[in-house]
Structure 1
Amino acid sequence: MPHQLPVTIRAPVAADRVAAVRDVLDEANEKGPFGAYFCFPDLENVHFVRLLLVPEGPGGAEGGMPAAVVYIAEVDAPQRRHLADLVRTCGDDLEKVFRHCEGYPAADAPARARLAWLRSHRVRSAAFYVNTVGRGSRQILQEAQLREAIEEFLDRRGPELAGAAPERIRAAVQEHVTGREDLAWARSGPPAPALWWRIRETAHLVVVPLLGLLLLPVLLIALPLWTVLLRWHEARDVPGTGCPARAHERELAGYEDFVAQNPFTAVGSVKPGPFRRITLTVILFLVDYAARHFFNRGDLAGVKTIHFARWLSIEGGRRVVFASNYDGSLESYMDDFIDKVAWGLNAVFSNGLGYPRTRWLVVGGAEDELAFKHYLRSHQLPTQVWYSAYDTLTTHTVGTNARIRAGLFGPLGPAQTEAWLALL
């Protein structure tokens, strides 16, 4: 069983090529809004893919921040396999966009040149969340197939099995699955992630707190100073007061609510000065640590509808991109966060320009629901090209399918058998 990885390719675009990139992405959306235009469905071991344009941004005294094409994917390890597959399968399609970027190899350049270019433009995620670590895209699709096969069998054999004991019904299902070679994989559970990866994760889990203990004297000295500086900055923060433009909201709505899931992509400028950049870097490190080791079984501090999420620091830390794949509407997605983890939103996003006013980093902010929603919508980017390998499946459905597989074979008591049948 593979573990999951974020892949991000970011490439600047010259100002005179931005319109051309936007035209390509718009054309791709019109011809195949779910990635067909870029042959993403032909890629293996992929969960989600998006391709978008991050617009130019003001950089104040430090200079402007150029527009960039950004490719974002959530894939099963290893990453090198995905990049090689991307060049081999979608190289010609990607050229339609990336040829407008600085330094992209010519059309007649060998595949290895394109691969080297993509590798050189990778961006490391500052924090990455996976709904359930180790659940690969192939497993998700197979378990959906298994559930469909079982439900079709029960529909067909319904009159015969009506009134039968739960154990008898389960035995009939087992017999049916065993007799199908295409479901042979279901007779055993999914394998565990690679041993080397589990050792590395355990080491990371232990080493980070140990380093924190070693640095504790320094942290205790620095904390009061940081607290004073935080309140000084918060007192001088200027929250945004505007609403998102109607045209912007209409454009965003045109890319949403076609399937069970939606993509969310937003970009914002970090408040100027080293204090906010350092604070945000530390917060995202802690978010990544928590998501990596504790919130990796379908629950992000109470929010259960997110498949993947990531934070990217770009332009030398002057801007941050947030990207996620979630179930349902954007309104319910924002409400879920506000109701359950407003403090976490504040800890991260309060370091961005225009965020609603906070106190002590975690108080206020997203608690002003309307201001927070206006802030998110204003910073949200159109995601013209987006692909999901299982766009009809919510996180709840994916989890239920995994439980069906887990309970299909092996010993179950009477109550457990009834609970298993209730999943179908």
Structure 2
Amino acid sequence: MTHQVGLTIITEIKAGEGEDIKQLLKAMSDNVVCNSVIPFGKFSNIHFARLFVLDESIDLNGRVIPPSLVFMSECDAPLNRHLNELVDIAGEGLDKIYSHCVDYINLSEITRKRRLAYLRSKMVNASAYYVNTVGRTVQQIRQESQLRNAIQDFLDHAQQDWSGNSSLEVRAKIQAYIRSEQTLNWARKPPAQPGLFFKLKEALHLVGMPLLVLVLLPVLIPAFPIWLLLLRIHELSDAAPHLKPDDAHIQELTDLEDLVAQNQFGAVGYVKPGWFRQLTVWGILLAANYGTRHIFNKENLAGVKTIHFARWVVLNEKRRVIFASNYDGSLESYMDDFIDKVAWGLNAVFSNGVGFPRTNWLIFDGAKNEQAFKDHLRIHQIPTQVWYSAYDHLTALNIANNAKIRAGLYSKMSETKAEEWLRLL
């Protein structure tokens, strides 16, 4: 079973203990790999993980939303193994964290079973979930990086002038080297693929959703013009002020960015009031989930190739939505990528949030108002107190290239193809 899953656990923080938990998270972030609370480096199947605090907030109706702690991870299936590893590797650390949260187990009554039950009770499903390449495990990514480095070392230290060899001859010597290295035996086999049950489930979803839409067409067709009319009424009447982010907030965010080849992004916002926006968000996220599962599941999210994982999570009785992603490069280039390549998608999803730049017909304008969009994102961005990457030196492009190196190692090739393959090194 080699597909990837996302875990989201959201817990309410006890009154007055928000700063205590932030201090604990800050201590964890000083050594995220080997800290004594959750030593992420000991987990074999976590790609990325994060913990962050959502501060107390006042909703659109003046109701208080208490502060909460959010744990998110992207890992290789099965999810049960991941939950069990969390409890087994970091049981006492979980106690330190969640003792600050409502409904956690009395410390005198803690057992492994109760820890696991608590985590399960606080799980929240993502409404849409994107994986850069379904089936590519942590082990595969690390091994293929090792393979590339080993081949480069061989070529650099073989004490041979390669200029007199054809590309196929160089490749043949690389193959012989790989065969001679016991630690690289795995590279002679193709990587494992997602399991049959997962493939069947995805195939049913791939076919089932369009069939459901087809069945509902007699209702959807007459409803669509009404929805369009209501959409324009809302777009023309919704407030869309261009607000500027606070300097202190920007500084807090930038202190957590550009530390490695990758970055984390997280933002939270309120859905615009009323049943119409609630219904629209539900429909758009349903479509987004279909797209990320069946269309944009191979190194490409509608033209954006720098994202490793992303998810949308609806919370607080559908009043708020969290968007979280792990991506390469700077935030500025990340936002530019989205604006240039998939502004329509940004508009479709995020224009249902309070304060988003004004759109036309759902997908036009909006994010194309570049500065207003960037300021809006910064205002809603959340500081991520703890963030872990299992391969923080590798970009999505690096990972894809390494996979191509492995795939081309023993496949049949012409001289031209072998030359192209060598250029990947």
What is the TM-score of this pair, normalised by structure 1? 0.97
How far did residue 165 of structure 1 move? 1.5
How far did residue 161 of structure 1 move? 3.0
CA contact (8 A) 1:47 1:388 kept: yes
The one-letter amino acid of 1:350's match is S
For 1:173, the equivalent position in structure 2 comes to: 174
How far did residue 159 of structure 1 move? 2.9
The one-letter amino acid of 2:393's match is T
What is the rounded CA distance, in whole Å, between the counterparts of 2:392 and 2:337 in structure 1?
21
For 1:120, the equivalent position in structure 2 comes to: 121
What is the rounded CA distance, in whole Å, between the counterparts of 1:380 and 1:9 in structure 2?
19
What is the rounded CA distance, in whole Å, between the counterparts of 1:290 and 1:412 in structure 2?
34
For 2:208, the equivalent position in structure 1 comes to: 207
For 1:323, the equivalent position in structure 2 comes to: 324
**Structure 2 residue 249 is the aligned partner of structure 1 residue 263:** no
What is the rounded CA distance, in whole Å, between the counterparts of 1:33 and 1:364 in structure 2?
40
What is the rounded CA distance, in whole Å, between the counterparts of 1:100 and 1:163 in structure 2?
67
For 1:253, the equivalent position in structure 2 comes to: 254
For 1:190, the equivalent position in structure 2 comes to: 191
CA contact (8 A) 1:263 1:324 kept: yes
The one-letter amino acid of 1:139's match is Q
The one-letter amino acid of 1:239's match is A
How far did residue 33 of structure 1 move? 4.9
Instruction: State the SS of the aligned residue for 2:113.
Output: helix
Indicate how the Cα distance of structure 1 residues 62 and 248 shifts in structure 2: closer, same or farther if over 3 A, else same.
closer
For 2:91, the equivalent position in structure 1 comes to: 91
Q: Deviations along 1:55-114, whole A, 9 cap, x unmatched?
A: 222123372222110000001100010000011111222222211111112334111100
> What is the correspondence of 1:21-420 to structure 2 with a 5 Å cutoff?
21-29=21-29, 31-33=30-32, 36=35, 38-61=38-61, 63-108=63-108, 109-157=110-158, 159-420=160-421
What is the rounded CA distance, in whole Å, between the counterparts of 1:49 and 1:132 in structure 2?
18
Greater displacement, 164-173 / 208-217: 164-173
CA contact (8 A) 2:262 2:329 kept: yes
Matched residue pairs, number? 423
The one-letter amino acid of 2:284's match is I
Q: Deviations along 1:170-194, whole A, 9 cap, x unmatched?
A: 1111111111111111111112211
Post-superposition, which runs of at least 4 consecutive aligned residues in structure 1 deviate over 4 A?
A: none
> Percent identity over the alignment?
49
What is the rounded CA distance, in whole Å, between the counterparts of 2:276 and 2:406 in structure 1?
50
How far did residue 158 of structure 1 move? 5.1
What is the rounded CA distance, in whole Å, between the counterparts of 2:252 and 2:61 in structure 1?
32
What is the rounded CA distance, in whole Å, between the counterparts of 2:221 and 2:276 in structure 1?
17
Q: Deviations along 1:137-190, whole A, 9 cap, x unmatched?
A: 110001001111111001011534332111111111111111111111111111
Instruction: State the SS of the aligned residue for 2:72.
Output: strand
CA contact (8 A) 1:259 1:392 kept: yes
**Structure 2 residue 16 is the aligned partner of structure 1 residue 16:** yes
Instruction: State the SS of the aligned residue for 1:361.
Output: coil
Indicate how the Cα distance of structure 1 residues 228 and 126 shifts in structure 2: closer, same or farther if over 3 A, else same.
same
Instruction: State the SS of the aligned residue for 1:316.
Output: coil
What is the rounded CA distance, in whole Å, between the counterparts of 2:233 and 2:9 in structure 1?
37
What is the rounded CA distance, in whole Å, between the counterparts of 1:34 and 1:308 in structure 2?
20
Greater displacement, 409-418 / 137-146: 409-418
Instruction: State the SS of the aligned residue for 2:317.
Output: helix
5+ unaligned residues in a row in structure 1: which ranges?
none
How far did residue 34 of structure 1 move? 5.6
What is the rounded CA distance, in whole Å, between the counterparts of 1:242 and 1:295 in structure 2?
33
Q: What value does the CA root-mean-square deviation take over the aligned residues?
A: 1.3
CA contact (8 A) 2:33 2:39 kept: no
What is the rounded CA distance, in whole Å, between the counterparts of 1:398 and 1:352 in structure 2?
34
CA contact (8 A) 1:40 1:90 kept: no
How far did residue 363 of structure 1 move? 1.2
What is the TM-score of this pair, normalised by structure 2? 0.97
Instruction: State the SS of the aligned residue for 1:412.
Output: coil
5+ unaligned residues in a row in structure 2: which ranges?
none
The one-letter amino acid of 1:317's match is K
What is the rounded CA distance, in whole Å, between the counterparts of 1:337 and 1:242 in structure 2?
20
CA contact (8 A) 1:240 1:375 kept: no
What is the rounded CA distance, in whole Å, between the counterparts of 1:324 and 1:209 in structure 2?
27
The one-letter amino acid of 2:131's match is V
The one-letter amino acid of 1:127's match is A
Instruction: State the SS of the aligned residue for 1:102.
Output: coil
What is the rounded CA distance, in whole Å, between the counterparts of 2:257 and 2:85 in structure 1?
28
Indicate how the Cα distance of structure 1 residues 383 and 35 shifts in structure 2: closer, same or farther if over 3 A, else same.
farther
